[in-house]
Chains A and B, each alone.
Chain A
Amino acid sequence: MPLKENRNVILHDHNHDGVDRRGFLKCMAWAGTGALCVLQGGVLKSYALHDPSGVHKAAKGDLSFVQISDSRMGFNKAANPDVIATLKIAVEKIRALPVPPEFILHTGDITHLSKPSEFDTVNQILQSAPTKDVFFVPGEHDVLEDNGKQYLELYGKNTKGAGWYSFDKKGVHFIGLVNVMNLKAGGMGSLGTEQLEWLEDDVRHLSKSTPVVVFAHMPLWNVYPEWGWGTEDSAQALSYLKRFGSVTVLNGHIHQTMQKVEGNVTFHTATSTAFPQPHPGAAPSPGPMKVPAEQLRGLLGVTDVNYVRKHHALALIDSTLD
């Protein structure tokens, strides 16, 4: 896996080298200007991406899209009193990409308190993005009080159940999952039986060479169960994806970049456009992390994803708002 110093570059190339990575666990994460990686035995370490010299690597692929997450419109506390400004900067970053993205994925927590005005502000800011195609999944902050009714009215067209759906772009199968509903006391994220059955059916007829991208708000792997950073029944969902050669899982929720490669599956969490959260266990709670103002933008960002057809590989490039 090539890593370049001073660059926020990640390249996962599942099929190119023919290495069977099943059962082999590896964590890759980036800190500052260097790359910190390697991990064994399932213990994950996470490091923030705050490289001010991080630059976009304009990968020439068949398909490129951008992931943004956790815009938390309405948040106004010390960790970031101006989440409007940082979301606008994220959109500017997307506009500045050398290759305009085909579409944008927003992996939830669009708002802080599910207020109509908060959804409206985000939608207005995204109007200036270089693509009008934005695909959403809800975060727990988008379905407060009304069990997701408002969210479905706004974004639920052509979705099933609580808002899950799939679509195809240039040979890649995308699946948006909802894991923030009906959470149980003491538990983590949850997909539920109905959604799992739908997922099993949704991928049944795909050929195993189809690249699959799954996106959901909460991590679909156990990042840190002590803080609820995971999804109770994600293993069941992933079991339906085992036969595929390339599976990429994109999540938000934890407001920091984290990577894991396990077998044929690459997991990736994106930074927030609003405020950072502490590394797992590094603070008494996962609440917003207050950092000096000059450091904030280095801890927020967007993720640019490129798909190169001939290699069946997805390249993820995280970029900070610096």
Chain B
Amino acid sequence: MKRRDWILCVTAVIALALPALTPFEKTVAAGPPTVDIKIDNFSFTPPMLTVKTGTQITWTNGDDIPHNVVSDDQSFKSKVLDTDEKFTFTASKPGTYSYFCSIHPKMTGKVMVE
């Protein structure tokens, strides 16, 4: 195979694969359901939430102070979220997930996954 042909071939393969890699793919109707939990004034809103299995849950820190999101059984743990930073967890297994901010442990919340 000539070098130019080889490059064309590789380019074609990348072009074919590209749609599957683009983030736009997520916006189609078949994407997983999503919910948002806000962190404001040292509390999670809503503090209790019931979602379907497979839901993507995103926490966003709106405070001037860093927080994190840690489930009591350690099944998920975010890094420390500074102002406006987000953490997403996909609820792939049914169950009740109690979580808290391990920096400010008075902040607690619960997600029920059906």
Residues of A within 8 A of B (CB): 77-79, 112-114, 140-141, 144-145, 183-188, 226-228, 284-288
Contact = CB atoms under 8 A, between A and B. Distances in A.
B41 A187 contact: no
B38 to A, nearest CB: 13
Nearest to A180: B103
B64 A78 contact: yes
A183 B102 contact: yes
A188 B43 CA distance: 15
B89 interface: no
A144 B63 contact: no
Given A113-B82, A145-B80, A288 B64 contact: yes
A79 B103 contact: no
B93 interface: no
A144 B66 contact: yes
B64 A186 contact: no
Contacts of A114: 80
Interface stretch (B26-34, B47-55, B104-112): B104-112
B64 A79 contact: yes
Nearest to B106: A228
A141 B106 contact: no
A268 to B, nearest CB: 23
Contacts, number: 56
B64 A286 contact: no
Contact of B108 (A144, A145, A186): A186
B103 A226 contact: no
A140 B103 contact: yes
B80 A113 contact: yes
B87 to A, nearest CB: 13
A285 B43 CA distance: 8
Contacts of A79: 64
Given A284-B41, A287-B41, A184 B105 contact: yes
A183 B103 CA distance: 8
A144 B98 contact: no
Contacts of B42: 227, 285-287
Nearest to A189: B105
Interface residues of B, number: 22
Contact of A188 (B63, B72, B102, B105): B105
Nearest to A140: B103
Interface of B: 41-43, 63-66, 68, 72, 79-80, 82-83, 98-100, 102-106, 108
Please name the 5 residue pairs, one residue from A and one from B, whose CB atoms are nearest each other, closest first.
A185-B100, A285-B42, A285-B41, A228-B106, A77-B64
B25 to A, nearest CB: 32
Nearest to A228: B106
A130 B80 CA distance: 35
A185 B105 contact: yes
B106 A226 contact: yes
B66 A113 contact: yes
A185 B103 contact: no
Which of A140, A184, A285 neighbours the largest number of chain B CB atoms within 10 Å of its CB?
A285
Contacts of B104: 140, 228
B72 A185 contact: yes
Contact of A287 (B63, B80, B103, B106): B63
A243 B106 CA distance: 33
Given A185-B98, A186-B106, A188-B105, 8 more contacts: A77-B64, A113-B80, A144-B68, A145-B80, A185-B100, A185-B108, A228-B104, A284-B41
Contacts of A188: 105-106
A79 B82 CA distance: 15
A188 B83 CA distance: 23
A55 to B, nearest CB: 33
B96 to A, nearest CB: 13
A122 B68 CA distance: 24
Contacts of A112: 66
A292 B43 CA distance: 26
